[in-house]
Amino acid sequence: MSTQGRMEGLVVVVTGAAGGMGEAHCRRLAGEGAGILALDLESSATTARLAEIVEGIVADGGRAAWRTADIRDISELGAAVTDGLAELGGGPGRAPRVDAVVANAGVYDVPGPAWEIDDDVWNRSLDVNLTGAWNSIRATEPHLADGASLVLVSSTAGLKGIRGAGQYVAAKHALVGLARTLAMELAPRSIRVNTVHPGSVATPMILNEQIYRRLRPDLENPTREDAAEALAARNLLPVPWVEPEDVSEVVLFLSGPESRFITGQQIAVDAGLTTA
């Protein structure tokens, strides 16, 4: 990893960092010189994965720390951010300012028609996908540098409907409204706020048997290849999905100074899904 890059000297907080897109964001941003505070929900698996990601960044010459917190709990999250930043360090006796926040954590269920969604599924989606992102901004706002960037990871479900996932669509659309409002409120501090809208991404959120069966109900035991065929038919470009790293390139651009005059925007990384 180069010690000089587009994010050299900047600090980025990433939620949902223990795998999938979150891990890719951490590694890409660190590869451009950013100091990373990686956050995720506490469990034996996520704790081990966060430690591994941070150790890899440090071994490559970067700067990183990790903490666990439930983004639904503002007190817990705020304490994790403050403590993690103190470990990263911003000079003698002080924590660094935060130059970018990537609100990436999310959950995805496909429970069926909106009127059949049970309370637990509905509330979990809104609590994690929407309130969690809101809390991520609240927890980091006291630490934000003027000119910082907030990147809220939404979905193509934040731009169009999806049958069978009304709770997810509602939460991801709401992120757009939140981001647009934050862009207005934080503009006097030159803080930009944008949303990124991935389509299908090659992570366990999409690559699992439940989604395969939903995509190919005509097959008894659909495979990844069967699902890929169905997904590719939805996109303009001849691919079934994008890679996490493809989304990370857009996150990198929006997090850094190259996007200094871009705010209140929605950027889709979806192989043309929302255009098809």
Is residue 91 pLDDT above 60, yes or no? no
Q: Give me the percent of the chain exceeding a pLDDT of 90.
A: 95
Predicted local distance difference test score (pLDDT) of residue 138: 98
Angstrom distance (rounded) from CA 182 to CA 193? 7
Predicted local distance difference test score (pLDDT) of residue 3: 47
Q: Are 178 and 154 in contact (CB under 8 A)?
A: no
pLDDT one-digit tens code per residue, 18-41: 999 999 999 999 999 999 999 999
pLDDT one-digit tens code per residue, 159-187: 999 999 999 999 999 999 999 999 999 99
Going from the C-alpha of 150 to that of each of 133, 177, 190, 191, 192, the distances in angstroms are 10, 14, 11, 7, 6
Predicted local distance difference test score (pLDDT) of residue 93: 56
Is residue 89 pLDDT above 90, yes or no? no
Annotated catalytic residue, options 66, 122, 168, 212? 168
Question: Is the whole-model pTM more than 0.85?
Answer: yes
Is residue 124 pLDDT above 50, yes or no? yes
Predicted local distance difference test score (pLDDT) of residue 200: 97
Is residue 141 pLDDT above 90, yes or no? yes
pLDDT one-digit tens code per residue, 214-267: 999 999 999 999 999 999 999 999 999 999 999 999 999 999 999 999 999 999
Task: Tell me which H or E stretch contains 172.
Answer: helix 166-186
Residues 80-107 have a mean pLDDT of 87
Nearest to 263 by CA among 197, 191, 198: 191
Is 108 an annotated catalytic residue? no
Q: Are 57 and 26 in contact (CB under 8 A)?
A: yes
Single-letter amino acid code for the residue at 15: T
Is residue 2 pLDDT above 80, yes or no? no
Q: Are 41 and 127 in contact (CB under 8 A)?
A: no
Going from the C-alpha of 257 to that of each of 9, 176, 253, 254, the distances in angstroms are 12, 22, 8, 8
> What class is the 11-206+241-269 domain?
alpha beta
Q: Which residue has the tokens 């000089």?
A: 4
CA 219 to chain centre: 32
Q: In the chain, helix, strand, coil percent, each to 5?
A: 45, 15, 35
